[in-house]
Amino acid sequence: MAELLNSDLWVEQYGDMLYRYTLVRVKDPDDAEEIVQVTLLAALQAKDSFQGRSTEKSWLFGILKHKILDHFRDLKKHRTYELASEDGPDPLENAYLHNGQWANAPKNWDTDPHKAAENSQLVEALSMCLDKLSEKFRNIFVLKEIEGLASEEICKEMEIQPTNLWVILHRARNQLRKCLETSHWNTRK
Amino acid sequence: MSKNSKDLSWMARITRWFGVTCEDTTPLISELMDHNLPLGKRLRLKFHLGMCGVCRIYEKQLEIIRALARKLGEDDAPTQKDAGLSEQVKARIKTALGDQN
Ligand SMILES: [Zn+2]
C-alpha cells in the first residue's frame, strides 16, 4: 500500500518534468506519454535497486534516458536513415558564387554561444525550428546535439555510414540556421 | 604524376591552401564539430578561417546552434513550460502503476 502511494506521487511530482524532457527529444506527444509511462513502470520494477545513491529525480531521469534511446532504436526498425528527397535540399546548395565565395553571406547574429543560451526566446526559436526538420534529421540531430552521443555510437545504433551521418548533421544545421535567421533575426528591426 | 606531386615543395602546398574557397570550407567547419579532421584538412580550415570573416560568422552561427541545443536538452529547459501530462493521462499511468504493484 505504501508503494502504491509512492508511485502515485511520482506521477504528480515528476510526470510533467519527465514529459517535457521527453517532448524535446521525441516530437510526438503520444510517443512521449508512452515513454513516460514505460519509464515509471520500469522504475517501479527496479525500485529495490534504488539505493539512494542519487536523488530520486536523477534516478528517474536516468531510466528515462534509456527508454528514450530504446524508442530511437525501435524507430530504426521501421525506417532507413539514408538521405531521401523528403529531407529537403541542402540549404547551402545555391549559397555560393561560381568562384566558391558566399553569394548570401551569413548574417552576424550579434551574440555569442554563451549569451544565446541564456536567451530563452532563442532557445524556444530553436525548439520550433527543430520541429520543422524531417523526422530523420530531427532524430539524428537530437541524438548528437541534445543527447550528446558520440558519432560512432550514433552510426552503430542507427546503422548508418559515418559520411551519411555527417551529411545529415551538416544539412540539419544549415536548415536550422536558415529557420533561425528567418524566424528570429529577420523579425528584429 | 606521382613524381610531380612529390616535387611540390611545402611552400607550393601552402599556396594551394590559399585557393580553398568558402564552399570547400563550410562542410569542414561542420565536420570538425563532430570529429577530428586529418591534419591537412584542419590546417586548411584554420588557414581559411584566418582570412575569411564571413566563414568565421558561419562558424559562430553553428556554435550558437550547438549551445542552444544543449540548453534545450537540460532538465528544465525554458521551453514548453506549459506542456504537461493531461489529468487523463496521469490517471492512466497511475492505474498502470497500480496494476503492476
Ligand atoms: Zn570563407
Pick the CATH number of A113-188 from 1.10.10.10, 3.30.465.10, 3.30.360.10, 3.30.930.10: 1.10.10.10
Within its chain, how far is the Cα of A159 from the centroid?
A: 18
Residue-level pLDDT at A3: 45
Residue-level pLDDT at A5: 47
As a whole number, mean pLDDT of residues B36-43 equals 89
Are A112 and B31 in contact (CB < 8 Å)? no
Residue-level pLDDT at A172: 95
Are A107 and B57 in contact (CB < 8 Å)? yes
Asked if A68 and A20 count as a contact pair (C-beta separation under 8 A), the reply is no
Please list every residue in chain B whose beta carbon sits closer than 8 Å to the beta carbon of residue A33: 85, 89
Q: Which residue has the cell 555569442?
A: A112
Distance set, CA B67 to CA A114, A165, B21, B33, B63 (Å)? 7, 20, 27, 12, 6
pTM of full prediction above 0.90: no
pLDDT bin (cut points 50, 70, 90) of residue B5 is very low
**Was domain A7-78 assigned CATH 2.60.40.1930?**
no
Q: Which of A37, A106, A170 sits opposite B54 (nearest CB)?
A: A106
Domain with CATH 1.10.1740.10 in chain A: 7-78
Tens-digit pLDDT profile for chain A (189 aa)?
344 447 788 999 999 999 999 999 998 999 999 999 999 999 998 887 777 767 888 899 999 999 999 999 998 888 777 777 777 778 888 888 888 889 888 999 999 999 999 999 999 999 999 999 999 999 999 999 999 999 999 999 998 999 899 999 999 999 999 999 988 877 554
Residue-level pLDDT at B9: 57
DSSP one-letter string for A28-55: -HHHHHHHHHHHHHHHHHTGGG--SSS-
Give strand pairing partners of A46: none
Backbone angles phi and psi of A96, in degrees to 5: -120, 155
Count Cα atoms within 13 angstroms, Cβ side, for A21.
23
Three-state SS for chain B is: CHHHHHHCCHHHHHHHHHCCCHHHHHHHHHHHHHCCCCHHHHHHHHHHHHHCHHHHHHHHHHHHHHHHHHHHCCCCCCCCCCCCCCHHHHHHHHHHHHHHC
State in Å: Cα B50 to ligand 1 middle: 9
Nearest to A166 by CA among A133, A132, A131, A141: A141
Asked if A175 and A133 count as a contact pair (C-beta separation under 8 A), the reply is yes
Task: Tell me how far apart the terminal alpha carbons of chain A are, to the nearest angstrom.
Answer: 60
Residue-level pLDDT at B11: 52
Domain with CATH 1.10.10.10 in chain A: 113-188
Could you say which residues from 12 to 31 on chain A have a Cβ atom under 8 Å away from some Cβ of chain B?
12, 15-17, 19-21, 23-25
Residue-level pLDDT at B80: 62
Please list every residue in chain A whose beta carbon sits closer than 8 Å to the beta carbon of residue B66: 113, 145
Residue-level pLDDT at B1: 41
